[in-house]
Structure 1
Amino acid sequence: MSLGGKMRTWAEIDLNAISTNVKQFKKCLNNSTKLMVVVKADGYGHGALEVSKCAVKSGADYLAVAACSEAVNLRENNIKTPILILGAVFNEDIPLLIKYDITPTVVDYEFAKELSNEAVNKNKMAKIHIKLDTGMSRIGYRCENDTYIEECIKISKLPNIVIEGIFSHFSKADEHDETYTHLQYNTFCKMCEILENNGINIPIKHICNSAGIIKYPQYHLDMVRLGISLYGHYPSTEFNENDIELTPAMTFKTKIVYIKDVPKDTYVGYGGAYKTDESKKIATLAVGYADGYPRTLSNKAYVTVKGKRCKVIGNVCMDQMMIDVTGLDNLKIGDEVILFGKSGNNNVTVEEIAALIGTINYEILCNLSKRVLRIYIQ
């Protein structure tokens, strides 16, 4: 059985779309506002290295990741652009932070002290960004306790430490009600003002995520962080092309590996979760939940074959799944199937897939597994 090529399941990443999205957002910013692009989780499943190179070439000023290992991978692949680790960092990461000139997020004095010691020993300067918790209750100093002032003052006096930035994160900027976002912003500004009044100079302040960039231009400050919308997707259903025109970068594809005709009352897949109500033509695809296609889409989702929507039937298996191709003629093994992404007038979008299973577009994109080959188009 020949599939007509080496690929079983793959994701096509349109780098022109990445570039277009960067340029769209650059047009929204003042010349003094930097653009940070978020490439954590392997670039939201798109491939952090290729996305980073494309985004920087298109005008991005800064990169952001979630873990030290992600930053090191970029540095070892010759990415010279400043990189901020948005998430937690650990003492064992410190030698790598200094070696590769990676900027950590700092949320406690003891870590900053260890970072300072390593920087002094290596005769290097260590840039840091301080995280403030203005309403996410995740990581960062909270405003209710004045100890953050004392800690930040102590951090600012550590040798070879440069407080380059300070930031927080909106939790509801993608919602219609603006009350909480305004509250977070005002809290952030108040905390920054207190620190500056205590002699701490902070060149880069940033709080806007993708939703914040689009909806709150007055809150752009010194830098903004472009995440989900870098990849061509809106942060929530509150946004659409009337706010800003985005181009999705990923198209998820697979191939037909088997075609058969079955009679009425035939069970399909594990547990007999689907039973034909008439004679059907069924195609088996070379993709399953181990590739990142959610099992919860069983008997719910559609894919596109030759421009027509075909329903997923039966439970999605680990490595394969079945679709109803009744009425489609001239199908053959090896034919391409679009799981989501660009497919003419019958697009199956990431947002449609996410809505079917009660999740968000972010999760669908990030869940594509390593065995899904990324093919870059430019």
Structure 2
Amino acid sequence: MSKIIINKRNYIHNLDIISKQAGSKEKIAVVLKDNAYGHGIIEISKIAKEFGIKKAVVKNLKEALKIEDFFEDIIILSEINFHTYSHTFHIVINSIEQIHKIPKNTNVHLKVDTGMHRNGISKNQLKEAIDGICRQNLNLTGIMTHHRGADGLNSEFFWQKRNFRLVKEEVKRICEQLFLPLPKFHSCNSAALFRTANFDDDFARVGIASYGYFENHPSFDKIDLKPVLSLWAQKVTTRVLKKNQSVGYGGTYKTDKNIIVSTYDIGYGDGFLRINENQSYKTPKGYKVLGRISMDNLSLDSQDEEVCMFDDARALAKIHNTISYEIVTTLSSELKREVI
């Protein structure tokens, strides 16, 4: 049976590097949205808790409920159907209109648009938003933003940092006027954290770096992160292909000699993206994918009972002209996750 193996040692290694950059474990919120970037939200939560992480970030309430027992604070980024929540949960407000849809006494983090122009209120709406949060009897526990270009070689990162610094100053002024406790401030994703020499937010939201990938421009310092996930396939059948015979849909791969070929139980239906005759991919052990990948299986020039299809998503990301995020998050939640 095909499966995903999670390397616990590598994940802890990455968290250790990240916590040192942030200043402490308390300054890390692990991002677990979309099934922990394909790694398995329960499996990763258990390791993060064991390491000492107390904060997590998820996409919606469904994800939050799965990990409620693992963390003290869970930030929910994109929940639409609002109702009464656990004191552990903190709902992100992405617009003024959302304030009036959230039940009283809910913990909320207000998102401010500092330049990404995707979600969040403007700096000019801060007073209106905080007033609305007070009238609705909500608990303002956080102020956040998101960087649009921290991984690129440009000045946008510093421009947004300045914008968020002005937001912090304005929020502090408003909270003093209204006798409100100061909320927690957070802005840094993985890329932004490693571009910050003196990290002064209350915590960072770290996703892709914790899973072993650093998507920043190559000119930035290389960080010694280790990929956490590897994908394994099980052999289904083995056969001999004679010279000039083909394998797979379209018959696009044709042998130039007699070879031994095996079929394995992984395909694009499992999230291993389709490769065709215009692409060439070899497994970490050097086995070549022969012909087109099918929905549920593929062919390799191998006889091994079990084959590692990849242990570093960057090679496949390059073939598919995408990023490591897409390679790992595409993997089916139905695949068995095994922690070693």
Give the TM-score of the pair, scaled to structure 1.
Answer: 0.82
Cα separation, 2, equivalents of 1:131 and 1:292? 32
Cα distance change on mapping 1:289 and 1:220 into 2, 3 Å: farther
In the alignment, which residue of structure 2 is the partner of 1:5? Answer: none
1:135 and 2:135 matched: no
In the alignment, which residue of structure 2 is the partner of 1:321? Answer: 298
Cα distance change on mapping 1:67 and 1:24 into 2, 3 Å: same
Matches within 5 A, 1:44-83: 44-75=37-68, 78-83=69-74
User: Can you list the C-alpha shifts for 1:261-294, whole angstroms capped at 9, x where unaligned?
Assistant: 2122222211122222333222211111111110
Q: Is the 8 A contact 2:37 2:329 kept in 1?
A: yes
The one-letter code of the counterpart of 1:232 is G
1:214 and 2:183 matched: no
Cα separation, 1, equivalents of 2:217 and 2:204? 21
Cα separation, 1, equivalents of 2:328 and 2:200? 26
Offset at residue 156 of structure 1 (A):
4.1
Structure 1 range deviating more: 200-209 or 280-289: 200-209
Query: What SS class does the counterpart of residue 339 from structure 1 fall into?
Result: strand
User: Can you list the C-alpha shifts for 1:88-116, whole angstroms capped at 9, x where unaligned?
Assistant: 222x3322xx246411101234432332x
Matches within 5 A, 1:278-289: 278-289=257-268
Q: Is the 8 A contact 2:25 2:52 kept in 1?
A: no
Give the TM-score of the pair, scaled to structure 2.
Answer: 0.91
Offset at residue 32 of structure 1 (A):
9.6
Matches within 5 A, 1:1-378: 8-31=1-24, 34-75=27-68, 78-86=69-77, 88-90=78-80, 92-95=81-84, 98-99=85-86, 101-115=88-102, 118-119=103-104, 125-143=105-123, 146=124, 148-158=125-135, 160-177=137-154, 179-199=155-175, 202-236=182-216, 238=218, 243-296=222-275, 299-304=279-284, 308-325=285-302, 331=303, 335-341=305-311, 349-377=312-340
Cα separation, 2, equivalents of 1:48 and 1:212? 23
Q: How many residues are treated as equivalent by the alignment? A: 335
Query: What SS class does the counterpart of residue 112 from structure 2 fall into?
Result: strand
Offset at residue 169 of structure 1 (A):
1.0
Offset at residue 355 of structure 1 (A):
0.5
Cα separation, 2, equivalents of 1:61 and 1:239? 33
Q: Is the 8 A contact 2:126 2:171 kept in 1?
A: yes
Q: Is the 8 A contact 2:95 2:119 kept in 1?
A: no
Query: What SS class does the counterpart of residue 223 from structure 2 fall into?
Result: coil
Q: Is the 8 A contact 1:297 1:357 kept in 2?
A: no
Cα separation, 1, equivalents of 2:65 and 2:99? 19
Cα distance change on mapping 1:297 and 1:26 into 2, 3 Å: farther
Cα distance change on mapping 1:322 and 1:277 into 2, 3 Å: same
Cα distance change on mapping 1:29 and 1:100 into 2, 3 Å: closer
Cα distance change on mapping 1:261 and 1:236 into 2, 3 Å: farther
The one-letter code of the counterpart of 1:367 is T
User: Can you list the C-alpha shifts for 1:24-75, whole angstroms capped at 9, x where unaligned?
Assistant: 2111223596211101111111111221121122132310001121112222
Cα separation, 2, equivalents of 1:11 and 1:279? 32
Q: Is the 8 A contact 2:82 2:101 kept in 1?
A: no
Offset at residue 247 of structure 1 (A):
2.1
State percent identity of aligned pairs: 28
The one-letter code of the counterpart of 1:139 is N
Q: Which 4+ residue blocks in structure 1 deviate beyond 6 angstroms?
A: none
Runs of 5+ consecutive residues of structure 2 not aligned to the other structure: none
User: Can you list the C-alpha shifts for 1:222-244, whole angstroms capped at 9, x where unaligned?
Assistant: 1111101111121245278x643
Runs of 5+ consecutive residues of structure 1 not aligned to the other structure: 1-7, 120-124, 326-330, 342-348
Cα separation, 2, equivalents of 1:176 and 1:108? 30
